C-alpha cells in the first residue's frame, strides 16, 4: 500500500517551517492552509475477496464522484465532472456481464425508495456506450453510468466494513481516513488490469476551519510507503506546462523535507483570469425546460493556450433519464436556431435518446451531450459595447413522464454541466508524464490526446438543479385514486357506446336495417 | 356570390392560398428560429434522404410510415445549388397541397354528379369546409401528410359512387397501406354495394338465397382488388425493407401505449395503467366499443341509406373512441363533411348547429387550457383537469355523433350509375 499526501498552497497562503515537521518516524502538519489530495494505491492481493472478484473481471474501472456543493478547483487539480457518481467501465471480456459490479454499485449508491435510480441488474441494460469519435482516441471506457449521489456515506461505510476490517494493525487509521472522505469535494477510484492496482484519491480544495492538522506515521510494513508533498503552483514556461515548487519527503525514509522545483505538461490548465458560469432553468419549466448557461462576458476571453491551437468553448451535459434532448433538434445545422441559442453545434451524444418513452420504460441511466457554445463576437470583447453583461447559451430539453405520486409532482435532479475551453493541436502525440494527471472524465476522451482543457468554475452553492415534474396525482385514499379514473373512464365510454347504439337502434327501428331511404329508391325510379 | 359561379375562380383562390402559405412558410423558415415547417416533415425528408442514399427510411427514428411516402419525397433529397435546394425541399409540401386541391375537386364533382347539387352550392360547401379552410391549407403546406389521406378517401368515394369496383378496391388497399384506419370504409362500401346498386332487380327470398345474393360481382371485384393492392404493396415493402417496415408501419401503431396526454378519453387511464397503477385492464378492451360501432353497427344501419354519412359517422366514431387522439385526426372527417352538412339537421336547425359548434369548441378549449397548464406552466393538471376535460370532450363528440346517426336516416346520395 502506498499513500501520497499532497498539500497545495495558494500563492497568498502563509507558511511557517514550524507547520510541517518531519521526524524519523512521522510527519506532522499543523494549521496548514492548503488544498489537499490523498492518494492511496493498493495491490489487488491486499483487497477483500468481494472487491477482488469485481476487479478481476475488469479491464478498466474508473469511478468519479463530485460533490454538489461549491468548491474552487485548484491547479493541478483543476478538472471537474458534473456532480454525482460517474462510472466508466471496460470489462475484460467484452461479452461478460458482471452482476457483481451491479451489486457493488447498489451497495455504494444505496438508493432510497423514491430515487429515480436506474437499477442495474445487467450492465448492458443500465450502462450506456459512450461515443467513439475516432478509434485513435481509444481513451474512453466502453461502458458508462451516472447517478445522482449527494453523499458518499454508503461508499465510506463499505470501505470501512470490507477494506478496513481486513487490515491487521492500521484498522482504526483506515477507518479515520475513510471517514475523512465524507468531507472531500471529489473522489476518484481507479483500477486497470495492467497495473493490477486500485487507486483511491480524495480531493479537498479548502482546509477545515483552522487549517490541516494531521500526523502521518511511518508505515509498519516495509512494503508500504507514505510520500508527502507541500507544494505551490505557478505557470510553466510553456503554455501547456505547470510548474510546481515546494517540499517533498518520504516519511520514515528521508531525514528532512527536500526543497524541489519541477514542471510537467498538463492537459488540465487553470484559467488565469477568474471565470465562472451559472446554470438555471427558466421558470415555469413546464414539460420542456430550457437550460441556461450564463457566463460574464469577461469570462470568455480565449485561454492562454499556444497560438497554434484552436480553442472552442464547450459544455458537456450529464442528463439523467428523466430529462433528455432531442438529437434532431439539437443536431440541426440551421444557423437561425443555433444563433438564437448561442450554440455552435452538437459534437457528440450517447445514451438514452428515445423521444417518446416514459421514464419507467427507459432502462439506461440517461444521456451525455457534448455541445460547442458560441462566444461573443470579437468586437464585443473590448467590453465597451453596452448590453447585458452576461453571455447566455440555452439548451432546449424535454421531460419524460414519471410515475404517479401522492402530491402530483416529482423532482428531477439535473447536475450542472461542465463548461470548458478545449484547445486542440494538430499534433496527436501523447501528452508527457504528469504526476497529477486525470483522465476518464467522460468528456476528455472526446478530444485528441494533446488537447488542453481550461475549465470555467461553476458559481453556485448547489450544483444540482431541481425541477418539479408534474405527474399524475394518486392517493391511497382521498379524491385522487386510481380506481376512480378506471371507473370514470369505463362509465363514460360505456354510456357513450350505449348512446350511439341507442341512436342507431332508433334509426334501424324506423326504417329497417340496411334499407335504403324511400327518396333514394324514388330517385332511382326516375 | 359571383365567385361561386365559377369553379375556376374557387380553385384558383384555393391554389393561391396554398401558394402564399408555401412562400410565407419558406420565408419564415429562412428568417426565424421558430419554423413554419412541421417537425414531421423533417422526419419525412430525413427518411427520403436515407432512401436516396440507398438506405432504409427506418434509419430515421420516429419514421412510422410506409416507405412510399419517403419514395415520393425523394426530390427533396436532391442536392444542388443553394437556391434550388429550397425549392426541392418544398417538393413534398407542394405535393400535399396539390392533393388537397385535387381532393376538393373530386368532392365537388361528386356533389354535382351524384348528389345533383347545383355547381354553385357544391362549390360553396367544399370551399367553406375544405378548399378555403385555412386549417386544411396550413396543415398541408406545413408538410403534414394527412392531406394525402384526404385525396385517397375522396378518390375512393369517387370510384365507388361512379361504380368502378376494381379501382375503388385498389385505392382502398393503397389507403390502408398508407394509414391503417381507412379499412373501416371497406366494410361500409361492401355492405352498400348490393345487387340492387349494380342495377339488378332480382329480389331473392329465403335465407340461403339471400346469403348467396350477398356475393355480387362488384363486391367480389372490390374485395379482391383491395386485398391485392394491400398485399402487393406490403409484399414489395417487406421484401425491400424487411421487419422494420412491418414494425414501424403497422405493429408500432397497434402496440404503442400512448401514455402522453391527448384528447382521447382513455388518456389518463393509459398513463395510470402504463405506470402500473391500474387494478383492472379495462383499456385492453378499448377496441371493443370502437370496433363494434365502426365495423359492425354503423355500416349495417347507415351504409345503405347514405354511404358518405355512414363513412363520416365511422370516422367520427373511430376518432372519438380511439385510445389516442390528436388534432390532426380531426382532418380525417373534414373531407366527408361537404356530403353530410348540406342536408344535416345542424344546418337545418341553426340553433342545434351553433350549439354543436360552440360545445365542440368549448370542449377543445377546456382541454387545451388544462394541457397548457401542464405542458407550459408545469402544473399537475392530469387529475381532475385533463381527465374531466377529456371525458367532457368525449361526451360532446358522442352527442354530435348521435345527431349524425339520426341524420343518416334521411340523407342519401343518388347513386344512379353514370353513363
Residue ranges of B 313-352 with Cβ closer than 8 A to chain A: 317, 320-321
Edge to edge, the sheet with strand A390-396 lists: A390-396, A290-296, A276-281, A457-458
* Cα dihedral value B209, B211, B213, B214, nearest 10: 180
Residue ranges of B 57-86 with Cβ closer than 8 A to chain A: 61-62
Tell if the CB–CB gap between B381 and A471 is shorter than 8 Å. no
C-alpha cell at B75: 426530390
What is the pLDDT, as a whole number, of residue A136?
A: 46
Q: Quick: pLDDT tens for B314-325.
A: 999 999 999 888
What is the pLDDT, as a whole number, of residue B417?
A: 40
Task: Output A425 or B74, whichever has higher pLDDT.
Answer: B74
What is the pLDDT, as a whole number, of residue A519?
A: 40
Phi, psi (deg, nearest 5) at residue A509: -60, -45
Query: Which range (A358-367, B48-57, B82-91) has the least confidence?
Result: B82-91
Residue ranges of A 315-354 with Cβ closer than 8 A to chain B: 327-328, 334, 336-337, 339-341, 353
CA distance B146 to chain A (A): 21
Q: Which one of A504, A513, A517 would you mutate to disrupt binding with B, by most B Cβ within 10 Å of its Cβ?
A: A504
Query: Which range (A126-135, A253-262, B287-296, B336-345) has the least confidence?
Result: A126-135
Phi/psi region, residue B102 (left: phi>0; alpha: psi -120 to 50; beta: rest), is alpha
Residue ranges of B 363-392 with Cβ closer than 8 A to chain A: 374-384, 387, 391
Give the position of cell 451489486. A103
Distances in whole angstroms, Cα of residue A197 to Cα of each of A55, A140, A302: 9, 19, 39
- Please report the DSSP string for B97-110 in residue order: HHHHHHHHHHHHHH
Tally of CB atoms within 10 A around B162:
16
Rounded to an integer, what distance in angstroms lies between the CA atom of residue A119 and that of residue A103? 10
Task: Output B272 or A134, whichever has higher pLDDT.
Answer: B272
Rounded to an integer, what distance in angstroms lies between the CA atom of residue A462 and that of residue A282? 17
Edge to edge, the sheet with strand A212-217 lists: A20-22, A26-32, A212-217
What is the pLDDT, as a whole number, of residue A414?
A: 95
Give the position of cell 412541421. B38
Q: How confident is the model at residue B290 (pLDDT cuts 50, 70, 90)?
A: very high
Tell if the CB–CB gap between B259 and A507 is shorter than 8 Å. no
Average confidence score pLDDT of chain B = 87
Please indicate if any CB of chain B lies within 8 Å of the CB of A501: yes
Q: Quick: pLDDT tens for A160-218.
A: 888 887 655 677 888 888 899 999 999 999 998 888 999 999 999 999 998 899 888 88
C-alpha cell at A300: 470568455
Rounded to an integer, what distance in angstroms lies between the CA atom of residue A84 and that of residue A145? 10
Tell if the CB–CB gap between B269 and A401 is shorter than 8 Å. no
Rounded to an integer, what distance in angstroms lies between the CA atom of residue B70 and that of residue B88? 14
What is the pLDDT, as a whole number, of residue B109?
A: 92
Asked if residues B23 and B87 have their Cβ atoms less than 8 Å apart, the reply is no
Tally of CB atoms within 10 A around A11:
7
C-alpha cell at B93: 409540401
Rounded to an integer, what distance in angstroms lies between the CA atom of residue B291 and that of residue B269? 19
Nearest Cα neighbor of A362 from A373, A374, A353 is A353
Q: Which one of B49, B382, B417 would you mutate to disrupt binding with A, by most A Cβ within 10 Å of its Cβ?
A: B382
Cβ-nearest to A287 among B266, B275, B375: B375
The burial class, CB within 10 Å (0-12 / 13-18 / 19+), for A263 is middle
Q: How confident is the model at residue B419 (pLDDT cuts 50, 70, 90)?
A: very low
What is the pLDDT, as a whole number, of residue A186?
A: 95
What is the pLDDT, as a whole number, of residue A135?
A: 46
Three-point CA angle B238, B242, B246, nearest 5°: 70
Rounded to an integer, what distance in angstroms lies between the CA atom of residue B372 and that of residue A80? 39
Across B226-330, the runs of DSSP E, i.e. the strands, are none
Quick one: CA dihedral A427, A428, A431, A437, positive or negative? positive
Asked if residues A298 and B386 have their Cβ atoms less than 8 Å apart, the reply is no
Q: Report, in angstroms and rounded to the nearest whole number, the Rg of chain B calculated over CA atoms.
A: 22
Give the ipTM: 0.89
What is the pLDDT, as a whole number, of residue B167?
A: 94
Asked if residues B109 and B102 have their Cβ atoms less than 8 Å apart, the reply is no
CA distance B13 to chain A (A): 33
Task: Output B104 or A49, whichever has higher pLDDT.
Answer: B104
Q: Among all residues of chain B, which has the CA nearest to that of A526?
A: B416
C-alpha cell at B307: 354511404
What is the pLDDT, as a whole number, of residue A514?
A: 53
Asked if residues B187 and B295 have their Cβ atoms less than 8 Å apart, the reply is yes
Residue ranges of B 25-54 with Cβ closer than 8 A to chain A: 30-33, 42, 46
Q: Report the Cα–Cα distance between both ends of chain B, in Å, rounded.
A: 32
Quick one: CA dihedral A479, A485, A491, A497, positive or negative? positive
Rounded to an integer, what distance in angstroms lies between the CA atom of residue B312 and that of residue B335? 9
C-alpha cell at B282: 379495462
Cβ-nearest to A515 among B265, B292, B304: B304
Phi, psi (deg, nearest 5) at residue A198: -110, 130
Give the position of cell 353530410. B340
Give the position of cell 447566455. A392
SS (H, E, C) B47-94: HHHHHHCCCCHHHCCCCCCCHHHHHHCHHHHCCCCHHHHHHHHCHHHH
Distances in whole angstroms, Cα of residue B411 to Cα of each of A509, B133, B200, B339: 16, 24, 23, 9
Q: How confident is the model at residue B50 (pLDDT cuts 50, 70, 90)?
A: very high
What is the pLDDT, as a whole number, of residue A322?
A: 93
pTM of the model: 0.87
Three-point CA angle A314, A318, A321, nearest 5°: 145
Rounded to an integer, what distance in angstroms lies between the CA atom of residue A469 and that of residue B181? 35
- Please report the DSSP string for B313-359 in residue order: HHHHHHHHT-S---GGGHHHHHTTHHHHGGGSHHHHSHHHHHHHHHH
Rounded to an integer, what distance in angstroms lies between the CA atom of residue A90 and that of residue A57? 9
Please indicate if any CB of chain B lies within 8 Å of the CB of A426: no
Q: Quick: pLDDT tens for A345-357.
A: 999 888 888 888 8
3-state secondary structure of A32: strand
**Residue environment code for A123-144, b if the CB has 16+ CB neighbours within 10 A, otherwise e:** beebbbebebeeeebeebbbbb
Ranges of residues in chain A with a pLDDT under 50 are: 134-137, 382, 517-526
Nearest Cα neighbor of B306 from B132, B188, B213 is B188
C-alpha cell at B149: 389521406
- Identify the H or E element spanning B170: helix B165-178
What is the pLDDT, as a whole number, of residue A169?
A: 66
Asked if residues A392 and A293 have their Cβ atoms less than 8 Å apart, the reply is yes
What is the pLDDT, as a whole number, of residue B83?
A: 64
What is the pLDDT, as a whole number, of residue B201?
A: 63
Tell if the CB–CB gap between B282 and A489 is shorter than 8 Å. yes
Amino acid at each position: 500500500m502506498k499513500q501520497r499526501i499532497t498539500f497545495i498552497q495558494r500563492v497568498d497562503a502563509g507558511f511557517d517551517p514550524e507547520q510541517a515537521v518531519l521526524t524519523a518516524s512521522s510527519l506532522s502538519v499543523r494549521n496548514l492552509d492548503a488544498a489537499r489530495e490523498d492518494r492511496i494505491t493498493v495491490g489487488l492481493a491486499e483487497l477483500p475477496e468481494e472487491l477482488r472478484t469485481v476487479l478481476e473481471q475488469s479491464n478498466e474501472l474508473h469511478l468519479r464522484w463530485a460533490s454538489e456543493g461549491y468548491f474552487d478547483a485548484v491547479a493541478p487539480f483543476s478538472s471537474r465532472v458534473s456532480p454525482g457518481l460517474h462510472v466508466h467501465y471496460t470489462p475484460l471480456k467484452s461479452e461478460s456481464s458482471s452482476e457483481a459490479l451491479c451489486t457493488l454499485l447498489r451497495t455504494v449508491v444505496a438508493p432510497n425508495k423514491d430515487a429515480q435510480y436506474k437499477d442495474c441488474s445487467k450492465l448492458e441494460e443500465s450502462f450506456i456506450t459512450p461515443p467513439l469519435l475516432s478509434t485513435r482516441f481509444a481513451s474512453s471506457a466502453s461502458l458508462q453510468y451516472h447517478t445522482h449521489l449527494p453523499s458518499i456515506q454508503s461508499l465510506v461505510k463499505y470501505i470501512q466494513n470490507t477494506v478496513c476490517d481486513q487490515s491487521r494493525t492500521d484498522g482504526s487509521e483506515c477507518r479515520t481516513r475513510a471517514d475523512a472522505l465524507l468531507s472531500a469535494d471529489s473522489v476518484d477510484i481507479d483500477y486497470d488490469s495492467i497495473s493490477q492496482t486500485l487507486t483511491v484519491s480524495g480531493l479537498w480544495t479548502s482546509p477545515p476551519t483552522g487549517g490541516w492538522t494531521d500526523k502521518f506515521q511511518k508505515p509498519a510494513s516495509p512494503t508500504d510507503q507514505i510520500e508527502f508533498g507541500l507544494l505551490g503552483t505557478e505557470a510553466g514556461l510553456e503554455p501547456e506546462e505547470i510548474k510546481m515548487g515546494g517540499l517533498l519527503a518520504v516519511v520514515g525514509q528521508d531525514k528532512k523535507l527536500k526543497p524541489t522545483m519541477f514542471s510537467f505538461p498538463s492537459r488540465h490548465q487553470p484559467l488565469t483570469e477568474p471565470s465562472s458560469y451559472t446554470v438555471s432553468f427558466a421558470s415555469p419549466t413546464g414539460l420542456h425546460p430550457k437550460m441556461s448557461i450564463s457566463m460574464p462576458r469577461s469570462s470568455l476571453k480565449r485561454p492562454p493556450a499556444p497560438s497554434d491551437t484552436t480553442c472552442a468553448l464547450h459544455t458537456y451535459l450529464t442528463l439523467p433519464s428523466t430529462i433528455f434532448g432531442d438529437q434532431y433538434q439539437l443536431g440541426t445545422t440551421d444557423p437561425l436556431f443555433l444563433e438564437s441559442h448561442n450554440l455552435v453545434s452538437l459534437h457528440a451524444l450517447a445514451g438514452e435518446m428515445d423521444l417518446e418513452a416514459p421514464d419507467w420504460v427507459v432502462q439506461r441511466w440517461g444521456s451525455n451531450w457534448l455541445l460547442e457554445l458560441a462566444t461573443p463576437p470579437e468586437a464585443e470583447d473590448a467590453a465597451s459595447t453596452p448590453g447585458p453583461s452576461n453571455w447566455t447559451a440555452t439548451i432546449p430539453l424535454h421531460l419524460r413522464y414519471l410515475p404517479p405520486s401522492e402530491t402530483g409532482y416529482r423532482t428531477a435532479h439535473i447536475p450542472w454541466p461542465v463548461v470548458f475551453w478545449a484547445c486542440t493541436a494538430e499534433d496527436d502525440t501523447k501528452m508527457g508524464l504528469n504526476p497529477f494527471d486525470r483522465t476518464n472524465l467522460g468528456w476528455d476522451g472526446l478530444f485528441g490526446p494533446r488537447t488542453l482543457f481550461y475549465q470555467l468554475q461553476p458559481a453556485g452553492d448547489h450544483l444540482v438543479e431541481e425541477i418539479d415534474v408534474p405527474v399524475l396525482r394518486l392517493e391511497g385514499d382521498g379524491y385522487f385514486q386510481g380506481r376512480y379514473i378506471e371507473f370514470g373512464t369505463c362509465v363514460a365510454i360505456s354510456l357513450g357506446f350505449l348512446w350511439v347504439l341507442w341512436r342507431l337502434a332508433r334509426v334501424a327501428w324506423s326504417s329497417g336495417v340496411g334499407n335504403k331511404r324511400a327518396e333514394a329508391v324514388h330517385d332511382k325510379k326516375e | 356570390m359571383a365567385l361561386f359561379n365559377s369553379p375556376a375562380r374557387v380553385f384558383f383562390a384555393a391554389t393561391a392560398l396554398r401558394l402564399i402559405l408555401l412562400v410565407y412558410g419558406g420565408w419564415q423558415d429562412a428568417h426565424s428560429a421558430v419554423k413554419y415547417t412541421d417537425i414531421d416533415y423533417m422526419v419525412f425528408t430525413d427518411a427520403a434522404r436515407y432512401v436516396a442514399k440507398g438506405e432504409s427510411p427506418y434509419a430515421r427514428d420516429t419514421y412510422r410510415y410506409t416507405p412510399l411516402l419517403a419514395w415520393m419525397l425523394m426530390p427533396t433529397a436532391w442536392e444542388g445549388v443553394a437556391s434550388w435546394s429550397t425549392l426541392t425541399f418544398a417538393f413534398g409540401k407542394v405535393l400535399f397541397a396539390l392533393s388537397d386541391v385535387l381532393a376538393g375537386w373530386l368532392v365537388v364533382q361528386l356533389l354535382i354528379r351524384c348528389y345533383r347539387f347545383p355547381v354553385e352550392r357544391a362549390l360553396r360547401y367544399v370551399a367553406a369546409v375544405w378548399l378555403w379552410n385555412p386549417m386544411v391549407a396550413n396543415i398541408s403546406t406545413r408538410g403534414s401528410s394527412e392531406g394525402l389521406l384526404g385525396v385517397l378517401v375522396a378518390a375512393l368515394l369517387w370510384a365507388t359512387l361512379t361504380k368502378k369496383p376494381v379501382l375503388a378496391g385498389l385505392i382502398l388497399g393503397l389507403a390502408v397501406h398508407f394509414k391503417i384506419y381507412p379499412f373501416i370504409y371497406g366494410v361500409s362500401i361492401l355492405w352498400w354495394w348490393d345487387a340492387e346498386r349494380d342495377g339488378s332487380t332480382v329480389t331473392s327470398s329465403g335465407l340461403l338465397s339471400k346469403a348467396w345474393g350477398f356475393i355480387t360481382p362488384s363486391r367480389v371485384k372490390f374485395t379482391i382488388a383491395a386485398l391485392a393492392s394491400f398485399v402487393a404493396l406490403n409484399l414489395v415493402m417487406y421484401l425491400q425493407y424487411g421487419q422494420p417496415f412491418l414494425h414501424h408501419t403497422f405493429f408500432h401503431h397497434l402496440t404503442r401505449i400512448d401514455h402522453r396526454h391527448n384528447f382521447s378519453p382513455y388518456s389518463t387511464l393509459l398513463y395510470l395503467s402504463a405506470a402500473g397503477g391500474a387494478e383492472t385492464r379495462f383499456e385492453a378492451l378499448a377496441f371493443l366499443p370502437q370496433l363494434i360501432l365502426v365495423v359492425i353497427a354503423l355500416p349495417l344501419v347507415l351504409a345503405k341509406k347514405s354511404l358518405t354519412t355512414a363513412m363520416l359517422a365511422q370516422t367520427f366514431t373511430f376518432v372519438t373512441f380511439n385510445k389516442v387522439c390528436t388534432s390532426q385526426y380531426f382532418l380525417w372527417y373534414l373531407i366527408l363533411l361537404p356530403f353530410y352538412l348540406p342536408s344535416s339537421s345542424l344546418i337545418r336547425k341553426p340553433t342545434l348547429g351553433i350549439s354543436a359548434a360552440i360545445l365542440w369548441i368549448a370542449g377543445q378549449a377546456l382541454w387545451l387550457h388544462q394541457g397548457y397548464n401542464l405542458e407550459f406552466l408545469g402544473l399537475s393538471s392530469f387529475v381532475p383537469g385533463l381527465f374531466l376535460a377529456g371525458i367532457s370532450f368525449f361526451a360532446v363528440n358522442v352527442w354530435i355523433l348521435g345527431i349524425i346517426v339520426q341524420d343518416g336516416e334521411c340523407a342519401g346520395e343518388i347513386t344512379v350509375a353514370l353513363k
